[in-house]
Chain A
């Protein structure tokens, strides 16, 4: 066994230890520690990605002296490595790019706790990506839930307190439903490790035993995770949560945390329920319909919004709709498109939030469209970054957004009945995306009313420029040289 297979364990334990240590450190040290940690995790994920990509296999890493079904396990494959790499890179750029706002928004007494919680989020995301055990997944979902509320409410203004109460309630309902599902699955199979669960469920489904509990478990787990990731009828926590958090937190919550839950859901579909059982149960049609509605209604809500952050948040609801639509369309091409869109959204949304924060600061912290008139002239680079992000969300080549829309369209051609509605909804939603992003772009590039009330010194902007350039480059590279990435996703789906 190659030594690099130990890296996920080290990365998880190291982030847990760093979070505990950060609680004792002063702000600056905690910040540096987090940045170093994310960099190291990204590097180690890249090594794992190279190794698993080269061998083309999936490895099971036994956590302790007992193999499954007795002890915990991690599952290490190219897909997992790719997502942990992407997540840690985006986390790194969120913390870097939002550092200026973090300094303003955080109270000195508690600001090191922010980095502590971000480290915990990193650990939880890694586990959600790598775990091969259902209950471990649940435990780290809890960490993810509490830590996300923490990084939301640490900016103490009235709206964030209310938003985090609302987010907490939604999120806890989701965790509760997930736990019910896990209990039901354990009752009918007696296993918690994913490979054993999958065998048992396939057998039970074939024999027609315990059909009701199995279906109920699938429904509860899917609904639980879709509440937490913000699928259409459950997306009402999104605008407040993303709109009023400090920009780094908005980027992390929209770009990573909700994606972690989606990745876990896909893992469950493939590794626990098995694609045959899941796609026979008809649940994918529910995802399809809800994703379909989410794409339209999320975009319409975004169009009606007057606040730039809330508009981006509603656009997130629409993008989550795309992902669930992909899961609903088909288990091969659709899911590959959904996974690609997870990456697209993870790279693009933080960029939008960070640059919007910069733009709003250029006009003195205002967030309404009326007041953002011409702000891109005051902060040229932020305007450029916002433009690239918008183009990627609309789906203009050579950005990643174009590739994901292309993949969704391709997947539509492989689905018989769903082809026409999928293509129509893609077209309609692209038009809607264009309307609200073009409106924003026109507004921010319109002639300014005067001079900028608050110029940000260039030195203070450096971290933002660094992270924005990084995100843009990632976006463009993945958009131009997308074929290796798409191949990797499709191959790993076959390996699942």
Chain B
């Protein structure tokens, strides 16, 4: 008995609680038919009953251990933050030649009035290239998770209630166009003022979601079906990758690019920043809308 309990103790640590897992998630192999369980298994077998008692014991321990760990972690982080340089001091370590060049020469070198856009899309463009692919990866993972199931369709009744909501539909009719236009403005304005692809894309995505909540997916789905969705994302991301690859290649080998900084402040200026902002904006807005659509009805 003692040996068993030790074994089960280890099993519980490494496998999670075995029966609970099986019961929650079904069998290991998809093709094997699920065995029928008329009675809860722990009711019959003494070992399993023991295991459940142990699980209950560890459940009780989890809360105090979690509290202690979190307290230690919070204390450690607060202590660290207290010994950091004071916020906003003039002689901060971050106030060095890097920021000096970004702020002093940024407009001249990148052509972007908005220094943030200059930094993320020109000085450190490789990070942003990765960042936009993070969104794409997340979308792939969600697609892999949700597309292979039969689909969690929104129930008809629920949809009807949503669409019959007069207040929602009236508001959406007024707000959606404004939101979309504002989002596009923020994207186009990224190199001139606050904004850019990520924020503009989020606004457009929110507009699309609002529209589909109020009016259902049918109208939007006529233009923005799954195929269209994938093609737009494909073109936006591969344009981004190829354009940046070209500019990295030129930079590393000491060639001039064909994209010039232009006159700072003009709408067509700052070289690649404007088209890149548009590409990022498309990816962000479609990803947001795609997540909503996937979770709501299991398809795009």
| A69–B97 touching, CB < 8 Å | yes
Among B21, B29, B85, the residue within 8 A (CB) of A187 is B85
CA A191 – CA B102 in complex, angstroms?
13
Per-position 1/0 for B2-36, Cβ under 8 A of A: 00000100100111100001101111111100000
B297 to chain A, nearest CB (A): 15
Among B14, B134, B234, B251, the residue within 8 A (CB) of A143 is B134
| B14–A153 touching, CB < 8 Å | no
Q: What A residues does B13 contact at CB under 8 A?
A: 236
Which stretch of A60-68, A323-331, A457-465 is in the interface?
Answer: A60-68
CA A139 – CA B15 in complex, angstroms?
31
Which stretch of B38-46, B52-60, B201-209, B237-245 is in the interface?
Answer: B237-245
Per-position 1/0 for B91-110, Cβ under 8 A of A: 01111111101100000010
* Most chain A C-beta atoms within 10 Å of own C-beta, residue among B97, B131, B148, B230: B148
CA A54 – CA B65 in complex, angstroms?
55
> Size range of the interface on A?
35 or more
Known contacts A17-B238, A188-B85, A191-B96: does B29 contact A365 (CB below 8 Å)?
Answer: yes
| B99–A66 touching, CB < 8 Å | no
Q: In the complex, what residue of chain A is closest to B230 when comparing beta carbons? A: A24
Q: In the complex, what residue of chain A is closest to B80 when comparing beta carbons? A: A216
Q: What B residues does A157 contact at CB under 8 A?
A: 25-30
| A162–B16 touching, CB < 8 Å | yes
Among B109, B130, B245, the residue within 8 A (CB) of A10 is B245
Among A24, A71, A110, A210, the residue within 8 A (CB) of B123 is A71
Q: What B residues does A61 contact at CB under 8 A?
A: 252
Interface residue B144 (Cβ < 8 Å from any Cβ of A): yes
Interface residue B175 (Cβ < 8 Å from any Cβ of A): no
Which stretch of B135-143, B161-169, B184-192, B210-218 is in the interface?
Answer: B135-143
Interface size of B in residues (CB-CB distance below 8 Å): 74
Interface residue A488 (Cβ < 8 Å from any Cβ of B): no
- From 40 to 86 in chain A, residues with beta carbon under 8 angstroms from any chain B beta carbon are 61-66, 69-72
| B28–A158 touching, CB < 8 Å | yes
A479 to chain B, nearest CB (A): 31
Among B27, B30, B149, B248, the residue within 8 A (CB) of A63 is B248
Known contacts A13-B241, A17-B238: does B130 contact A110 (CB below 8 Å)?
Answer: no
| B138–A6 touching, CB < 8 Å | no
| A17–B140 touching, CB < 8 Å | no
Sample of 5 more A-B contacts, CB < 8 Å, known A10-B245, A146-B134: A70-B102, A158-B22, A158-B28, A188-B85, A190-B98
User: Please, could you name 17 A-B residue pairs with CB atoms under 8 Å apart, sorted by A?
Assistant: A17-B237, A17-B238, A63-B248, A70-B123, A72-B126, A113-B144, A139-B127, A142-B130, A142-B137, A143-B130, A153-B145, A158-B22, A184-B84, A187-B85, A200-B93, A310-B14, A365-B29
Residues on B facing A (Cβ under 8 Å):
7, 10, 13-16, 21-22, 24-31, 76-77, 79-80, 83-85, 92-99, 101-102, 109, 122-127, 129-131, 133-134, 136-138, 140-141, 143-145, 147-149, 230-231, 233-234, 237-238, 241-242, 244-245, 247-253, 257
